[in-house]
Amino acid sequence: MASKFHSCNGKTLEERVAEIRELLGKADGDVLKIVGVGAGAWGSVFVAMLQDAFGHLRDLVQVRVWRRGGKAVDKKSAQHLFEIINSREDVLRRLIQKCAYLKYVEGRLGDRVLYADEILRDGFCINMLDTPLCPLKVVTNLQEAVWDADIVINSLPSTETRPVFEEIGRYWRERRTMPVIISLSKGVEAALTPVPHIVTPTQMISEATKVPLENILYLGGPNIAAEVYNKEYANARICGSEKWRKPLARFLRQPHFVVWDNSDLVTHEVMGGLKNVYAIGAGMVGALTNESATSKAVYFAHCTSEMIYITHFLAEEPERLAGPLLADTYVTLLKGRNAWYGQKLVEGELRLDMGDSIQGKGMIQGVSAVEAFHELLRQPSLSVMHPDGNRPVAPVELCPILQMLYRILIKRECSPEAILQALRDENMYDPRRRIEAAQGKDCYMPQLLGNVKTTANGVIKQVLA
């Protein structure tokens, strides 16, 4: 692993670290401090991947992860964790050598409670027990974790990003230098004033901490966390300012994890949230039709046409997003937690009243995203012409899958089975017509990404995000 990684892209690990240290203005002898905020599946894997790559450079790099303390591991998970440990000779030996094995025996027997932050120190993420990670340095005090961090990795759900980073912002008030923040979060909020627009996690972080957007980047897939840690081939895009995205792409790149860079931060970030919306429906359709290839293909055609339609509102050159959007959607439909959630709702193993934070899986980001996109696209001020050309309608009227997911998941006025009704509706337009409607008219609405401001006399003007 080490020799391959050293030769990747012609730069050694030390050279990549030196490049980042120079950009951050680090003095000789001052350790580069990387902190993950949040320890879900992807966040834990991402930090563990950095620990694997740079952990041996102790004099140059320190890698840590913060998660809230006190979250107990339930008895069923403790028993499963014990089975995983005993099925992996390398993991079993490591725990015995550090005198940590006994606590997992006791946890399995119910003689003691295991905690999520405790097992993470031994390399076990509560949302991904089947994939043992390398041991991680875990901090449960947020101020201690972030106050002098150079690079912060945000892997919190979008619904938790703002409050946590508002707290972080208080700790950073006296900072003389700005950290760099890489957000892995997928999800959006809808804001309706001064005009309807989307608020993304990177925007939430900037507002909460006063860190300029130039120092905040988004990194997205397509990838599956466990496969990345198991060194199966994967790729990602890091999006943001040129000053940081190119050196960070080099810094993060590994032989099995290719990182490209892109300037379009906000639109890629929004697309990362949008595909989770339709993944839930894909899980429902699969479970309802006994994994019928035809039914899933019909659903894919309709949901991708809706995503492409929405993309034309969000991006001036939407064709540039087609590849990343479809690739990320494909992998999420195949193996992501949102599709899993839709499947389990149909099978009766989950209920909507259980909420969207599921034990062993974490936050189901698609649920809040359904509400955000529906709320945004139903606004009359964003009206578009109906494909028949005879009346203006709110954009959501041309997104029947999104409307049905909203009725199922948010309003709870339909059962999951109704997703098939949306597919079989005789009034549903051929997906091609929806795409043609987007391509044939000037659909781009910069205000949807907050690219507007209100002047003193009330005039709305477009500005850069």
- Catalytic residue ranges: 275
Tokens of 129: 């027990």
Question: CA–CA separation, 239 vs 249, rounded Å?
Answer: 9
Q: Which residues pair with 461 in a beta bridge?
A: 453
Query: Judging by DSSP bridges, how do beta strands 180-183 and 151-154 pair with one another?
Result: parallel
Question: CA–CA separation, 12 vs 163, rounded Å?
Answer: 38
Residue 17 in contact with residue 54, Cβ under 8 Å? yes
CA distances in angstroms from 235 to 184, 249, 260, 276, listed in the order given: 14, 11, 8, 18
Q: Which residues pair with 454 in a beta bridge?
A: 460
Question: CA–CA separation, 58 vs 31, rounded Å?
Answer: 8
What are the φ/ψ torsions at residue 64 (nearest 5 degrees)?
-140, 165
H or E, element range at 61: strand 61-66
Question: CA–CA separation, 360 vs 292, rounded Å?
Answer: 27
| Burial bucket for residue 164 (CB in 10 Å: 0-12, 13-18, 19+) | buried
Q: Which residues pair with 65 in a beta bridge?
A: 36, 138
Residue 217 in contact with residue 265, Cβ under 8 Å? yes
Percentages helix, strand, coil for the chain (3-state, rounded to 5) are 55, 15, 35
Residue 358 three-state SS:
strand
Site of tokens 């001064």: 194
Tokens of 121: 């120190």
Residue 218 in contact with residue 324, Cβ under 8 Å? no
| Burial bucket for residue 463 (CB in 10 Å: 0-12, 13-18, 19+) | exposed
Give, in degrees to the nearest 5, the angle at Cα 126 between 45 and 359. 125
Residue 425 three-state SS:
coil
